[in-house]
A and B are shown apart, each in its own frame.
Chain A
Amino acid sequence: MTTLTKQPDPGLSARAPRKSRKRGKPSDGFRGIGDLKVALFFIAPAMVGLILFYLVPTIRGIYLSFTEYSILGDPEWIGAQNYERIAKDPLFWNALGVTAEYVLINIVLQTALALGLAILMHRVAKSTLIRGALLMPYLMANVIAALLWFWMLDYQIGIINQIIEWTGLPRVAFFGSEQWAIPTQALINTWRHMGYTALLIFAGLQAIPNSVYEAASIDGSKAVSTFWRITLPLLRPVLVLVLVVTVIGSFQVFDTVAVTTAGGPVNATRVLQFYIYQRAFNEQDFGYGSALAVILFLILAIVAFIQMKFLRGNQSDLD
């Protein structure tokens, strides 16, 4: 704006704009560079963080996946050998299956329950206290939640097995049996994340204008068909976002497994993230672990892409 105040001779007003434009050009450009500098200065902390903690480790991880590396000593280039070994590794395929089972149980239940909770929050429970209480499990650290359930579901001393025994049924080895170990952990994390997911969906519900509902009720639509024909379609962008985020999070399940079953019994809970940890940190095979991590990364990218593409997550039907 300084250029304008410096406008010379008012008598030359006709030429003044041109002049000022002429003078303005380099100064605009100059200001642009000045802005860039300032912008860079403010971007720098995030940029440095991004490069240092995301970009460099990602590239290094991809590089390491082509090496044999035990953390002590130097990585040794071995080409695609790690990937060839993974293709033939029964534990990798087992991990994929176990992880898929976990994600399926976790996501289906969690999304259905969260949707129900969100609608209840929207229609019935207007009290902030109740809405807040739904978030309580999410405020607990993952490891604490896992250990608490591990203790409550314990075969010998767990309160839930005590109750089961009182009802006359046989005790259940929730974490110890191969059939139960994954569903148990999927349910624990469903319990923990349900409230948070419901909150996201609830926000989406609030974005649907009331006029749409009014129009529906004038047309004589019942509550159930209003839900299927109005609420759900208009909620789609939010649901897609929630699904993408929760599916990615679900694929990365680790801490619950690490503090309870550690991959066992046998291989029943050796989920992909735990298998990566085991190969890299327990067995000091960081090359192999990196290759597994790259594969998980690709799987997640493909899953997210498919979800966005087919559920049209970037479009809204509200406009």
Chain B
Amino acid sequence: MKDMKKAKMVDFDTEYAPKSSNPVGKVIVTIILILWTVINIFPIYFIFTFSLKSNDEIFGNNIAGLPRNWIWSNYTRALGTGNMGLYFLNSILVTGAAILISLIAALMATYAITRIKWRASKLANAFFMLGLTIPLQASIVPVFFVLKELHWLNKYSTLIIPYSAFALAMAILICTGFMVEIPYDLDEAARIDGCGLWRTFYQIILPLMKPAYATVGIYSYLQCWNEFMFANVFISDSAHRTLPIGIQQLSGSYTTDWGPIGAALVIATFPTLIFYISLSRRIQESFIAGAVKG
């Protein structure tokens, strides 16, 4: 927990700058940084440009250059016949619901663990923290079998419930970090004023936990938005596919036509990237808070 506090206060603007560094070293460092930047940006440029090309250009001599003819109809084809619009909405629905459910469950559990005094609270916390190490593969066989027996495959909830469960441990960890920082006097004062546990929870604690919502949300978003294994195994009808599965299917059926595939890749990627670039500091801090658990 201590590490997390430290991480939350990461100061991006510390007034530290080394004075003595040799120019040769500086040049090497700059080259490394620029090279790695190119390696990281190039793929994004690559999928964007090939999403606008025809097969002639891609298979001809213009693999890496800018498109000669900008074929925006690749996008209408990816959205139309490729169904990417539907998959995009499915992803939003599944991810949004999973974030909401895991957040509510985590807030309630964290409240019981950190703000109510009882003997086994530490044990309960340790129990939930097991979830950080349990791999997704641990539950795929039984969950698949049970869902199949209950005829529960190919629904939105088929993915929403497992996603919420796997996002839960991290959500509790993050919420704990935020909740222990709320002064305990507040609960005391509320109790003296006649507030019960539930009213204290939703009138005092929940409003003060707002910063945690964003952190939990960002973390769970990435976990669910890009999840592939469960979606690949549990969803077989096209009506409930999420983006990753949709792209995989599209690439299978359109192997001869690369343009719409490129468009699908862009549709799946760019909203996240734009969101990230506009909120990069906030998102980076969330990741640090989530991952550095000491």
- Do A and B come together as binding partners? no
- Give A residues with C-beta under 8 Å from B: none
